[in-house]
Amino acid sequence: MLKDITLGQYFPGNTPAHKLDPRTKILLVVIYIVALFCAKSFLSYGLVALTLFACVRVSKVGLKALVRGLKPVVIIILFTAVLNLFFTPGQVLFQLGFLKITDAGVSNALRMVLRIMLLIMGTFLLTYTTSPISLTDGLERLLNGLKNFHVPVHELAMMMSIALRFIPTLIEETDKIMSAQKARGADFESGNLFEKAKALIPILVPLFISAFRRADELATAMECRCYHGGEGRTKLHVLRYERRDYAALISGVVIAAAVITLGRLEL
Amino acid sequence: MIKTKDLTFTYPAEEGEQPVQALRGVDIAIEKGSFVVVLGHNGSGKSTLAKTFNAVLLPAGGKVYVEGMDTLDEELLLAVRQRVGMVFQNPDNQIVANVVEEDVAFAPENLGVPSPEIRKRVDDALAAVGMSEFVTHAPHLLSGGQKQRIAIAGVIAMEPDCIVLDEATAMLDPIGRQEVLSTVHRLNQEKGITVILITHHMNEAEEADRVLVMDDGKVAMDGAPREVFSHVEELRSMGLTVPDTVALLYDLRQEGMDVPLSALTVDECADAITAALTPGKTEKSTK
Amino acid sequence: MKDILQIEHLTHTYGAGTPFQRNAVEDLSFTVKEGEFLGIIGHTGSGKSTLIQHLNGLLKPTAGRILLDGKDIWAEPKKIRDVRFRVGLVFQYPEYQLFEETVYKDIAFGPINQGKTGEELDRCVRTAAKLVGLKSEALDKSPFELSGGQKRRVALAGVIAMEPEVLILDEPTAGLDPAGRENLMANIRDFHRNRGGTVILVSHSMDEIAQNVDRILVLKSAHILMDGAPRQVFARGQELIAAGLDVPQVTRVAMALRDRGLPIDPAVYTVEELKRALLNLRKEGAAC
């Protein structure tokens, strides 16, 4: 049951979006977010949305998957909508008791909701088309320069990729431990919040102990395969920019510039 | 290939307990290209011994030499580990990456091997263990036997001279165990890689060149499998068992039947019994 | 002997409605008699673990019923926990589920969930510890201070302490050395004999099953391949081998002897039995 969670929801594929260098995609997402937050008018939002949907088409993400990606943040969206709708000063359109809906409120709410949705969908697209390993590789290369400032870039990237690799394994183990404790009569459903939290101890303690044991064994195994830190390491897959990466980056920058300009010109 | 001299090792004491001397003076030499099985009950020191072969554990006393290199020498650490690879018991806790080829590439990446060469080594290693079709698979979805084969591939990618399997079949089902055993036998025969198999499954020693039996931190027995298994009483007193074939022959011998104790396999055993029960018929050699 | 467990047309489907849909067990029907020592053998993927998780209500049937002492265990879904106290299940490598501060408390986890208190609780814990061969000094220690074999015994005691009518053990000797295996199986045999409860042993090892059980259930690809006394099952040794399963080494020797013309019953499965058969042959031969 828990096994069905695919973190980040990566789906392997052969689309142009999949083939882009992960660094390009990370940079594009950063540019996208900047543009999104600089967008003011509905025109600029429209431009961003249009770009997003073009990317969606290119990466062949199904619309259903995209909508599913919004599920976790439904509450935030609703909360933001409500906040903006009822608490923005302006010309009153509708009144219910002390609750006022203003024209500015409607406009703001719409824009904020759009912003959140576009933000989530944009990052969703990133994780959809880029495997966790590529992401960490890309991040590691991008942040390489920080090594000069004594930031342990390689170690952080290694930690991240090992953590990602162990997520499905730990989920499987949690399942097993839960079944074993249920077989001894453990009850994870009933009781108040406090009782439910207490019921998690028989799962968390063995899980933690197991995680430490795994880490120990893995470290030994890594050393036996001559791991000695980041010095002198080469890679099986070397990241290389291709023409399409430059094309994508340039388009991204141009669109972002357009959006920012629109904002400046108050269009 | 590997030589130990007067090797001793002591585990540090737990709270309120005595320190455990796991190895009490071990003197052995492992020949290049041989297939050695190390047997022993839990606590006999067999795993400890294995871990001194690639400097995971360093001798408290005595020496371990890997192709002439002293494992105590820090400068030679990486060289030693590249020569002697190790596969551990838990299939999951050796896998570093999310994708099979990335995991197999881990060792050559650590050694600074150039990218195109890594590609070649990964493909060759996967072919050698029969897992080529899984090259872009997710390792955590594989069976136990498959995971261990990927671990073996990851070790081969370092191009070691020797592979040590530390109870690598203990957590596998019979099919997985068979997969791993046939893989390492093939590597031993086709590529001349020295194999040292630590196990407590007696039947895994049937096809070894040499069996070492550890007991209480020392080497209690050392010889060919048929030779070692014929010492039934001694093995039993050490908390080990013998394969049922040998147990049967032993019992029959106690009852006066003239059967050798060295007929280890099912066929050899059946031949020996048939010969003993039908004297005068075609005599089949059982040695 | 009454039927303590009845499995009727059990089917379990994983991933229904997705492209990965598959039946882990399909139309399984069999009964378990009270006091029986049943062995279940089959490959990984034959449906063994799915089956046993149905017996204590951890999994719900897609179709079919499980009857405990004549009553459908899912008749009152809210009371399914009670079934788990009556049908105790010990998973593989159970030592990984220990979590309490002391061995005593960990063993007590099950009985406490059951509602046991005071003297009765104490009795259950101590009896269970003794049954698995744990010394009373161990009860006050932290479970994490113990060796692997000891930890496994603690986990086993934790389930036995619930005093279940049926005890299911999934590969209890996995990962243990020969001495450890023999020791643990002896404890389990004692438990079966002294408590008179029903024991179901799931194993990969034909040898282990052969030496311990009254009856064998062979599973293959979600179905029951064979169901009978060890003698009946091993008489079909060729079929087992063809199905990719193993037969005890002794049985293989018996089959090999038969191939060489000796009149040996190929359903022999212990060293003792084969020895006796051969000694008889020798006597007859000498008498000729």
**What pLDDT, on the 0 to 100 scale, is given for residue C84?**
94
Span B252-285, pLDDT tens digits: 888 888 888 888 888 888 888 888 888 754 444 4
Is C162–A201 a contact, with Cβ atoms under 8 angstroms apart? no
Chain C positions touching A216 (Cβ under 8 A) are: none
Helix (H, G, I), strand (E, B) or coil at B16: coil
C151-198 tens-digit pLDDT: 999 999 999 999 999 999 999 998 888 888 888 999 899 889 888 889
In whole angstroms, give the CA distance from residue A259 to residue A263. Answer: 6
The dihedral through the CA atoms of A212, A217, A222, A224 has a sign that is positive
Q: Hey, are the CB atoms on A233 and B78 less than 8 Å from each other?
A: no
For chain B, which chains pass the contact test of at least 3 CB pairs under 8 Å?
Answer: A, C
Residue A230: C-alpha distances to residues A138, A163, A219, C82 (Å) = 16, 17, 15, 55
Residues 6 or more apart whose Cβ sits within 8 Å of residue C121: C108, C111, C112
Strands, E assignment, A65-194: 92-96, 99-102
Residue A239: predicted pLDDT? 85
Mean pLDDT estimate for chain A: 84
pLDDT number for residue A3: 39
Whether C83 contacts C57, CB under 8 Å: yes
Q: Of B152, B89, B96, B52, give the one whose Cα is nearest residue A233.
A: B96
Q: Is the pLDDT of residue B1 over 80?
A: no
Average pLDDT on B224-233 reads 89
Interface test with C, best of B142, B229, B248, B283 (most C CBs within 10 A): B248
Nearest to A233 among B94, B110, B154 (CB): B110
pLDDT recorded at residue B14: 66
Nearest Cα residue in chain B from C179: B239
* pLDDT cut 70: percent of chain A above it: 96
pLDDT of res. B150: 96
pLDDT at position C165 is 92
Spatial distance between the Cα atoms of A39 and A46, rounded to a whole number of angstroms? 9
Judged on CB neighbours under 10 Å (0-12, 13-18, 19+), C98 is buried
DSSP B127-182: HHTT-GGGTTS-GGGS-HHHHHHHHHHHHHTT--SEEEEESTTTTS-HHHHHHHHH
Tens of pLDDT along B60-73?
Answer: 888 899 988 888 88
Q: How much of chain C exceeds pLDDT 90, in percent?
A: 51
Contact B42 C259 (CB under 8 A): no
* Sequence letter at residue B123: D
Of C177, C262, C281, the CB nearest to B41: C177
Is C271 in contact with B241 (Cβ distance < 8 A)? no
Q: Which two tokens stand for residue B182?
A: 């046939």
CB of A186 within 8 Å of a chain C CB? The answer is yes
Closest CA–CA distance from residue C282 to any residue of chain B (Å): 6
The listed range with the strongest mean pLDDT (A118-122, A145-149, B31-35) is B31-35
Average pLDDT score over residue span B212-232: 90
Exposure string (b/e) for A153-190, b if CB count within 10 Å is 16 or more? bbeebbebbbebbbbbbbbebbebbbbbbbbbbbeeee
> Mutation test of the interface with chain B: which of C140, C152, C271, choosing the one with the most B Cβ atoms within 10 A?
C271
- How far C238 CA lies from chain A's nearest CA (Å)? 36
> Which pLDDT score is estimated for A220?
94
Chain A CA closest to residue C81: A185
Shortest distance, CA B24 to any CA of chain A (angstroms):
24
| pLDDT on residue B112 | 92
pLDDT digits (tens, 9 = 90+) for A34-68: 888 888 888 888 888 888 888 888 888 777 777 77
What is the pLDDT at residue A7? 47
pLDDT at C240: 86
Element counts in chain B: helices (H) and strands (E): 10, 11
Tell me phi and psi for residue B27, to 5 degrees.
Answer: -125, 100
CB B36 within 8 A of CB B92: no
Are the beta carbons of C56 and A183 separated by less than 8 Å?
yes
Of the residues C96, C169, C171, the best mutation for testing chain A's interface (the one with the most A CB atoms within 10 Å of its CB) is: C96
A122-148 pLDDT per residue, tens: 888 888 888 877 888 888 888 887 878
pTM, two decimals, is 0.86
- pLDDT above 70 covers what percent of chain B? 95
Do the Cβ atoms of A133 and B106 come within 8 Å? no
* Chains touching chain C, criterion 3+ CB pairs below 8 Å: A, B
Contacts of B146 in chain C (CB under 8 A): none
Q: Does residue A266 register a pLDDT over 90? A: no
The partner residue sitting opposite C256, judged by closest CB among B143, B173, B270, is: B270
Give per-residue burial for B183-202: e unless 16+ CB within 10 Å, then b.
bbeebbeeeebbbbbbbbbb
Confidence (pLDDT) at C267: 81
Looking at residue C275, the DSSP 8-state letter turns out to be H
Q: Which residues of C touch B243 (CB under 8 A)?
A: 249
Count chain B–chain C contacts defined by CB atoms under 8 A. Answer: 88
pLDDT for C265: 84
Buried residues in B112-121 as b, exposed as e (16+ CB within 10 A): ebeeeebbeb
* Per-residue pLDDT at B148: 96
Residue whose C-alpha is closest to residue C90's, from C227, C201, C224: C201
Sequential pLDDT tens for chain C (288 residues): 789 999 999 999 988 777 778 888 999 999 999 999 999 998 887 889 899 999 999 999 999 999 999 999 999 988 899 999 999 999 999 999 999 999 999 999 999 999 999 999 999 999 999 988 898 888 999 998 888 889 999 999 999 999 999 999 999 998 888 888 888 999 899 889 888 889 999 988 888 888 889 999 999 888 999 999 998 998 888 888 888 787 888 888 888 888 888 888 878 888 888 988 888 888 877 654
In angstroms, rounded to a whole number, what is the distance separating the alpha carbons of residues B86 and B162?
Answer: 9
Mean pLDDT, all residues of chain B? 88
pLDDT band at A168; cut points 50, 70, 90: confident
B155 neighbourhood in chain A, CB within 8 Å: 225
Q: What pLDDT, on a 0 to 100 scale, did the predictor assign at position B192?
A: 92
